[in-house]
A and B are shown apart, each in its own frame.
Chain A
Amino acid sequence: MERLEIPVRPDFAAKLEAVGLSFHSWENYWKEDACYRFSAEQIDEIESVTEELHRMCLLAVEHVVKTRDFARLGIPEVFWEAITSSWQRREPSLYGRFDLAYDGVNPPKMLEYNADTPTSLLESAVAQWYWLEDCFPQADQFNSLHERLVARWRELDLPAQPVHIASIADNEEDWVCTHYLVDTALQAGFAAEHIDLEDIGWNSAARAFVDIEDKQIATLFKLYPWEWMMRESFGENIPGSSTRFIEPLWKSLLACKGILPILWALFPDHPNLLPAYFSSEGLTSYVKKPLFSREGANVELYRDGKQLHADADGPYGAEGYVYQGLAEIPCFAGKYPVIGAWVVGDEAAGICVREDTTPVTTNQSNFVPHYFE
């Protein structure tokens, strides 16, 4: 694994916009004056670790459901039975993304699992693929995301009605991600349309979620966290509704950082896990993470008891925290890369690399393409 400085494509902006990546220059998000090169052996390791971690996460879900350990994960009691039912029926998942610390030498370490609402999808699946074809056509890329997403939609056994794919209004990044998912669903042969999350309706007589034309929503992909949906006014309508949700309700357990200490308890000293607990007792170098947070918000880093990083601007932390042993994120030319390892269904489907000037990956981290040979 190494970071290379390379020339940018003179028409890179037009090429990114042609595939729909409209926000590529916000905070210099897309960064192609550098790239990461991996060996085939390193990619093989990331692939096998990703699938191993996913299997372990499913066992952790089974453990939480069996022991009804929902409260520690901040799950409101009204959803416990619905989550149990969702898991027992093995409602299928579409996709997720692990964040891994990896230096190319030591085993990858799981930082967290974005199992519910992962973004960076279009740039991972499409934009970096075209970059590869332009810049390193002789090389390969760990990226079968697009083909696997299209195939996965077909495996979901969805009803015949259109798939509704929702994101919040007026958020460009989420709009782009969900419109890419609409495209993959269409290519899979489904009718699919985007809907602003705020436009979703509730038909009180039918006890059904409906779209802007009052038609029943049979299948809803929501780029909106379960922990938020559960606590909003329509949340009480979710259990027992006829709408099928993607991601399924059981994935709310994996989206919670509380799954990290549960994994560590189930698989102590696993080479791809970091020690994690519900208290900081015994830890001197650790990361304090809210049970529910995204894009690095409200995360604090401590080394030898001294605070190295704190972000108090975010809205997270009310439900509690977990404490995870500090991972050694490698530093390449002053940049700290984190590997985003994609899972589609139950299989590894590719990676993306995001790097930052601090060891915490945030919504302002740069997306840097990769290849291997």
Chain B
Amino acid sequence: MPLIFIGTLGAMYYFLSSSDEDVQVRQDSYLSLQDCQADWGSDDPERCRADDSLDNSSSHGGGSASHSFYTSQANNDVRSTHYSGPRYFWQRTDTGGYPMEIRPDGTTRQITGAKVSNGQPSHAFGSKFSSGSVSRGGFGSSAGHFSAGG
């Protein structure tokens, strides 16, 4: 049975976790339903929705949520009808990862059948990002001076 060298664990982890894995939520915009489905598939009709919220707006306009911004990949070609893909973040794995949809009720689920790879849609004209706000201290209040184990 090997000896335990607890003091080395922190340094080992710091080395292993040096990649950038910050959670970033993204939603891509499309000029047509076909473009959206080319990235996200057509299995779920709720996944690509007509969205008029960007009509007459600049492609660089700011988002409404805190810490969010909007970027364009193709000029200022915003038309009166366009489509939005799902809100999602990229779940990284050792084989690249997969998109996780954040549904309107706040729950998440893996998106299967999507054609986006490495978190990059290929048919979108723009994407909205949000890093969100982080709160802490929501766990731990019940313990008092007691051990949480048994």
Q: Which residues A322-366 have CB closer than 8 A to chain B?
A: 363
**Which residues of B (15-59) have their CB < 8 Å from a CB of A?**
16-17, 21-25
Q: Report which residue of B134, B141, B148 has the largest number of chain A beta carbons within 10 angstroms of its beta carbon.
A: B148
Contact B9 A198 (CB under 8 A): no
Contact assessment for B25 and A224 in the assembled complex, using a CB-CB cutoff below 8 Å: no
| Interface assignment of A206: CB less than 8 Å from any CB of chain B | yes
A199 to B134, CA, bound (A): 11
Interface bits A228-241 vs B (CB < 8 Å: 1, else 0): 11011111010111
Q: A174 to B143, alpha carbons, bound, how many Å? A: 12
The binding surface of chain B is classed by DSSP as loop
Contacting A at CB under 8 A, from B98-114, are 100, 102, 105-108
Please state if B13 and A216 are interface contacts (CB–CB under 8 Å): no
Q: Which of A13-41 contact B (CB under 8 A)?
A: 18-20
Residue in A187, A193, A205, A363 whose beta carbon sits within 8 Å of that of B2 in the complex: A187
CB distance from A92 to the nearest CB of B (A): 18
- Contact status of A203 and B23, CB under 8 A, knowing A193-B17, A231-B142: yes
Which among B76-84, B116-124, B125-133 touches the partner chain? B125-133
Question: Measured between alpha carbons, how far is A197 from B149 in the docked complex, in Å?
Answer: 13
Q: Contact string, A114-153, partner B, CB cutoff 8 A, digits 1/0?
A: 1001110000001001100000000000000011000000
Give the distance to chain B from A18, nearest Cβ to Cβ, in Å.
7
Chain B residues near A67 (CB-CB < 8 A)? none
Cβ contact of B140, chosen from A162, A198, A210, cutoff 8 A: A198
On chain A, the residues within 8 Å of B148 by CB distance are 117, 167-168, 171, 174, 197, 223-225, 228, 294
- Indicate whether A254 reaches chain B with its CB closer than 8 angstroms: no
- Once A215-B17, A232-B141, A294-B147 are accepted as A-B contacts, the answer to whether A182 and B135 lie under 8 Å apart by CB is no
* A179 interface residue (CB < 8 Å to B): yes
Interface residue count on the A side (C-beta < 8 Å): 75
- CB pair B22–A215 under 8 Å, yes or no, is yes
- B13, B94, B143 pick with most chain A CB within 10 angstroms: B143
Residues of B within 8 A of A314 (CB): 146
Across the interface, which residues of B come within 8 angstroms of A202, CB to CB?
A: 134-136, 138
Q: Mark A191-203, 1 if CB is under 8 A from B, else 0.
A: 1111011111111
B100: chain A residues at CB < 8 Å are 242
User: A53 near B: Cβ within 8 Å?
Assistant: no
Whether B150 and A205, one on each chain, are in contact in the complex, defined by CB atoms closer than 8 angstroms, is no
Contact of B139 among A118, A200, A215 (CB under 8 A): A200
Chain A residues with CB below 8 A from B139, complex form: 166, 197-198, 200, 222, 224, 229, 232, 234
Binding site for B on A (CB under 8 A): 18-20, 114, 117-119, 126, 129-130, 146-147, 159-162, 166-169, 171, 173-174, 177, 179-180, 182-183, 186-187, 191-194, 196-208, 210, 213-216, 218, 222-225, 228-229, 231-235, 237, 239-242, 294-295, 297, 314-315, 363
The chain B residues found within 8 Å of chain A, CB to CB, are: 1-4, 6, 9-10, 12-13, 16-17, 21-25, 65, 67-68, 89, 91-95, 100, 102, 105-108, 130-144, 146-150
A160-B95, A215-B21, A240-B107 are known contacts; what are 18 more A-B pairs with Cβ within 8 Å? A119-B149, A126-B4, A129-B1, A161-B21, A161-B92, A200-B139, A203-B23, A203-B131, A204-B132, A204-B134, A205-B131, A205-B133, A214-B22, A214-B134, A215-B17, A237-B138, A240-B108, A315-B144
